[in-house]
Chain A
């Protein structure tokens, strides 16, 4: 079963760029890398997905190296409202299975 590894928590300040890195040591050839965001007492929300290289949308950027053993979620200029838990997942072979995630705390 594919399992990802990411830091338990991170702290940042408003206006800074935040990079959260995830290890995908057991990723399969057909798997994609997907990130979700979860606020307290709410369901997770899809942020971004990629297979390799770089993907950017209105919310974040996702960097995936050629070997696909890691990924980095980049949040530009975070605000207090970005305080949440961020999950990285290997997706494609089965239904979404979430790990512990990274708890991001943004300070004023």
Chain B
């Protein structure tokens, strides 16, 4: 248990569906992140939020839409995904958005797009 909780743990969705991934942390952290990890590939940083403001968006397709309503919650809204979007999606949080403070990761959501 890292203090970062992701739901659901597993998700299967069709290409025309709309779904959302949820991340929650009560560690008092100010920065939250979404990462994508495809099979046997490095983690790809998707989005960074600092104090509820998006500060980084690494050329992610618009079919992925993040939302950070408060410092404890982070969502990733999914719509019209492609099969190549199937991956493990990881949420992380840290005290601030500079990498010198320890980041805590959730267990991830295993997404399968059919």
Contacts and interface: CB of A to CB of B under 8 A. Distances in A.
Interface of A: 32, 34, 41-46, 49, 89, 91-101
Contacts of B35: 98
Interface of B: 2, 4, 31, 33, 35, 42-43, 45, 48, 56, 88, 90-92, 94, 97-100, 102-108, 110
Interface of A is mostly: loop
B45 A95 contact: yes
A96 B42 contact: no
B83 to A, nearest CB: 19
A43 B105 contact: yes
Contacts of A32: 99-100
B42 A95 contact: no
Nearest to B43: A98
A32 B45 CA distance: 19
A37 B88 CA distance: 16
Contacts, number: 65
A95 B31 contact: yes
Given A43-B107, A100-B42, A91 B99 contact: yes
A23 B99 CA distance: 18
A94 B50 CA distance: 12
11 contacts: A32-B99, A41-B110, A43-B90, A43-B91, A43-B105, A43-B106, A43-B107, A46-B102, A89-B99, A94-B56, A96-B45
